[in-house]
Amino acid sequence: MITPRLGLVLLGLVLIGATLIYAPGLNGPFVLDDEENITAVPEIAIHCLDYVSLRDAALSNDSGPLKRPLPTLSFALNHYLAGGFESTFGFKLTNLLIHLANTVLIFLFCRALLATPALLNRMPAERHITVAILATALWAFHPIQVTNVLYIVQRMNSLSALFVLSGLILFVHGRTQLNTVGARGFTLMAGGTIGGTALGLASKENAVLLPLFALVIEYSFFHFRTHDERTRRLLLIFYMLVVVLPAVSLAIYLVLNPDFILNSYVTRHFSLLERVLTETRVLWYYAGLILFPISKDFGLFHDDMVLSTGLFTPHSTLFATVGLLAILGLGLSQAKRHPLISFAILWFLAGHVIESSVLGLELAYEHRNYLPSYGILFAAAYGLIFSIQVRRTTVSLAVIAVLLTLGFITWARAGTWGNIQSLAEHAVSNHPNSPRANDFAARTSLGVKNDLIAGIRFTLNGLRNAPMEVGFHIDLQILLGTLGNEIEHKLQRQATQSVGQPLDIRIAGLDEDIQAVETKDGLRLSHHNSSPERISELLGTQAITVHGIFSLENLRHCILDPPKPCKALHNVALSWFAIAAKNSRTSQDYRAIIVNNAAVLQAEAGDVSRALEYINQAVALLPDHVSYRVTRAEYLIKLGRLDEARHAIDLIAAEAAPTDTPVSVHESNIRKLREMYNNAAEEKHGSLWLHRK
pLDDT tens per residue across span 367-395: 999 999 999 999 999 998 888 766 677 77
Give pLDDT, residue 484. 82
Other beta carbons within 10 Å of 497: 12
Model confidence at 527, in pLDDT bands (50, 70, 90)?
Answer: confident
CB 4 within 8 A of CB 128: no
The pLDDT of 230-256, averaged and rounded, is 92
Model confidence at 691, in pLDDT bands (50, 70, 90)?
Answer: very low
* Side chain identity, residue 661: T
Model confidence at 585, in pLDDT bands (50, 70, 90)?
Answer: confident
The pLDDT of 553-563, averaged and rounded, is 90
Model confidence at 689, in pLDDT bands (50, 70, 90)?
Answer: very low
pLDDT over 70, % of the chain:
92
Query: Per-residue pLDDT for 693 more than 60?
Result: no
Helix and strand numbers, DSSP H then E, in the chain? 32, 3
Across the chain, mean pLDDT equals 89
CA distance 646 to 133: 69
pLDDT tens per residue across span 187-223: 999 999 999 999 999 999 999 999 999 999 999 999 9
pLDDT tens per residue across span 95-127: 999 999 999 999 999 999 999 999 988 888 888
pTM beyond 0.85: yes
CB 240 within 8 A of CB 224: no
pLDDT tens per residue across span 644-660: 988 888 888 887 656 55
pLDDT tens per residue across span 28-61: 999 989 998 999 888 999 999 999 999 999 998 8
pLDDT tens per residue across span 663-679: 566 778 888 888 888 88
The pLDDT of 52-72, averaged and rounded, is 90
CB 576 within 8 A of CB 534: no
| Residue range(s) occupied by CATH 1.25.40.10 in the chain | 587-693
**From 153-157, 339-343, 498-502, 508-512, the region with the lowest mean pLDDT:** 498-502
Give pLDDT, residue 512. 66
The pLDDT of 587-611, averaged and rounded, is 91
pLDDT tens per residue across span 464-479: 999 999 999 999 999 9
Check whether domain 587-693 has CATH 3.40.50.1360, yes or no: no
Cβ-in-10-Å burial (0-12, 13-18, 19+) of 587 comes to: middle
Query: Per-residue pLDDT for 433 more than 90?
Result: yes
The pLDDT of 553-570, averaged and rounded, is 89
pLDDT tens per residue across span 9-25: 999 999 999 999 999 99
Model confidence at 688, in pLDDT bands (50, 70, 90)?
Answer: very low
Write the DSSP string, 299-363.
-S--TTSPP--BTTBSTHHHHHHHHHHHHHHHHHH-TTT-HHHHHHHHHHHHHTTTTTTTS---S
CB 61 within 8 A of CB 69: yes
Q: Residue 217: CB partners within 8 Å, gap ≥ 6?
A: 113, 116, 168, 171, 172, 175, 343
Query: Per-residue pLDDT for 494 more than 50?
Result: no
Cα-Cα end-to-end distance for the chain = 88
Model confidence at 620, in pLDDT bands (50, 70, 90)?
Answer: very high
Is residue 600 classed as helix, strand or coil in its secondary structure?
A: helix
Query: Per-residue pLDDT for 490 more than 80?
Result: no
Model confidence at 428, in pLDDT bands (50, 70, 90)?
Answer: very high
Is residue 62 classed as helix, strand or coil in its secondary structure?
A: coil
The more confident residue out of 380 and 515 is 380
